[in-house]
């Protein structure tokens, strides 16, 4: 296939996709929602086009009008994706673990945008290759579809990376905050007062979680329920044991300062063990290039000395 034929094929595909988008977005082809059907009957009717409303949904991309035009199609795609994937609760929990204040629908929309970005980049490379005379239809279709699918999955992978990084920062902050809470409780503060002091004195991911617990408590939720919600949001064993210890101490009246100090000491011991295990693994990895360097630097001259024929 020559470059002219490849360009004509790409232009035909783009034209066909554009005509299909125009056809499926016609009012007669689009399902009308209940809100759209009853909106003309309401008293507070707004005759202005929804695409021109300044106080509507804020744009999340720099494309402005294009984003507002494509928003209905993106919303329909997210809805269809939500029907295929029923794990909204698990996704909401992962977003909470990453500290991202978004709904699962918003995250699915981001995944679709990442997939569209991968599709666009791959299509641009295919077009460039077609103009250069290197075009294979099967490879082009596979690369475009694979790039879109890879962009969709990469956003989920990046969410896992964000969760692991945030949990690592929380574990690094945990011993110091536990000691600070133990000092506050030992000075006569209650559990809520100790949380308040920690939130005012510290900055970090764990202190943000404590601030959320404190905000829920001040909003009327019991402290035990707020702590249980935090325990359900995290997968870190030391933090879960820490929260369980606070809950038991609050419910049964056991000394809270001793519990906090013991939990902080357990976390420090765990960190030391992890550091020693990591050092042991890295020591073995470092020995491999050293052995190779010794073999090639010192082994060969000795063999020549022992055997002159080498």
- The model's pLDDT over 209-267, given as tens digits with 9 standing for 90+, comes to 888 888 888 888 888 888 888 888 888 888 888 888 888 888 887 777 777 777 777 77
Domain contains 252: yes
Predicted confidence (pLDDT) at residue 62 exceeds the cutoff of 50 = yes
Domain contains 24: no
CATH number at residue 275: 1.20.81
More confident position, 208 or 68: 208
Q: How far apart are CA 59 and CA 77, in angstroms?
A: 18
Could you give the number of structural domains in the chain? 1
Residues 29 and 76 sit within 8 Å (Cβ to Cβ): no
pLDDT band, very low/low/confident/very high, at 292 (cuts 50, 70, 90) = low
**51-55, 154-158, 211-215: least confident range:** 51-55
The listed range with the strongest mean pLDDT (14-18, 38-42, 57-61) is 14-18
Q: How far apart are CA 48 and CA 35, in angstroms?
A: 16
Map residue 259 onto helix, strand or coil. Answer: helix
> Would you list the DSSP string of 188-235?
T--HHHHHHHHHHH--SHHHHHHHHHHHHHHTT--HHHHHHHHHHH--
φ, ψ for residue 54, nearest 5 deg: -80, -30
More confident position, 135 or 86: 135
Domain contains 78: no
More confident position, 181 or 310: 181
Domain contains 194: yes
Domain contains 253: yes
Burial of 130 (0-12, 13-18, 19+ CB in 10 A): buried
Domain contains 82: no
Map residue 64 onto helix, strand or coil. Answer: coil
pLDDT band, very low/low/confident/very high, at 10 (cuts 50, 70, 90) = confident
More confident position, 98 or 70: 98
**53-57, 175-179, 219-223: least confident range:** 53-57
Residue 243's domain spans which residues?
173-297
Domain contains 53: no
- What was the pLDDT predicted at 104? 83
Q: What is the separation, in whole angstroms, between the first and last Cα of the chain? A: 58
Predicted confidence (pLDDT) at residue 31 exceeds the cutoff of 80 = no
Predicted confidence (pLDDT) at residue 58 exceeds the cutoff of 60 = no
Domain contains 262: yes
Predicted confidence (pLDDT) at residue 300 exceeds the cutoff of 80 = no
pLDDT band, very low/low/confident/very high, at 45 (cuts 50, 70, 90) = low
- What was the pLDDT predicted at 202? 83
Residue among 239, 301, 293, 289 nearest 266 (CA):
239
Predicted confidence (pLDDT) at residue 161 exceeds the cutoff of 90 = yes
Residues 86 and 151 sit within 8 Å (Cβ to Cβ): no
- What was the pLDDT predicted at 186? 81
């Amino acid at each position: 296939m020559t470059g002219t034929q490849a360009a004509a094929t790409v232009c035909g595909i783009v034209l066909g996709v554009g005509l299909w988008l125009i056809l499926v977005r016609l009012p007669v082809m689009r399902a009308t929602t209940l809100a759209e059907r009853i909106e003309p009957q309401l008293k507070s009717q707004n005759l202005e086009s929804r695409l021109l409303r300044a106080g509507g949904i804020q744009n999340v991309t720099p494309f402005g009008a294009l984003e507002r035009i494509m928003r209905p199609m993106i919303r329909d795609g997210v809805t269809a994706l939500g029907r295929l994937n029923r794990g909204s609760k698990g996704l909401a929990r992962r977003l909470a673990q990453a500290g991202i204040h978004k709904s699962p629908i918003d995250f699915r929309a981001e995944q679709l945008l990442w997939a569209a970005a991968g599709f666009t980049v791959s299509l641009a490379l295919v077009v460039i290759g077609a103009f250069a005379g290197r075009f294979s239809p099967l490879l082009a279709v596979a690369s475009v579809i694979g790039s879109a699918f890879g962009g969709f999955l990469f956003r989920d992978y990046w969410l896992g990376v964000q969760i692991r990084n945030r949990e690592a920062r929380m574990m690094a902050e945990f011993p110091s905050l536990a000691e600070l809470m133990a000092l506050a409780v030992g000075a006569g503060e209650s559990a809520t007062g100790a949380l308040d002091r920690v939130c005012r004195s510290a900055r970090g991911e764990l202190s943000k979680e404590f601030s959320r617990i404190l905000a829920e408590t001040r909003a009327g939720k019991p402290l035990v329920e707020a702590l249980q919600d935090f325990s359900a949001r995290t997968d870190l064993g030391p933090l879960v044991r820490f929260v369980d210890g606070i809950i038991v101490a609050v419910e049964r009246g056991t000394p809270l300062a001793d519990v906090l100090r013991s939990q902080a000491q357990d976390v420090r011991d765990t960190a030391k063990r992890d550091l020693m295990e990591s050092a042991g693994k890295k020591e073995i990895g470092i020995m491999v290039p050293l052995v190779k360097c010794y073999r090639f630097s010192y082994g060969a001259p000795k063999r020549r000395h022992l055997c002159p024929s080498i």
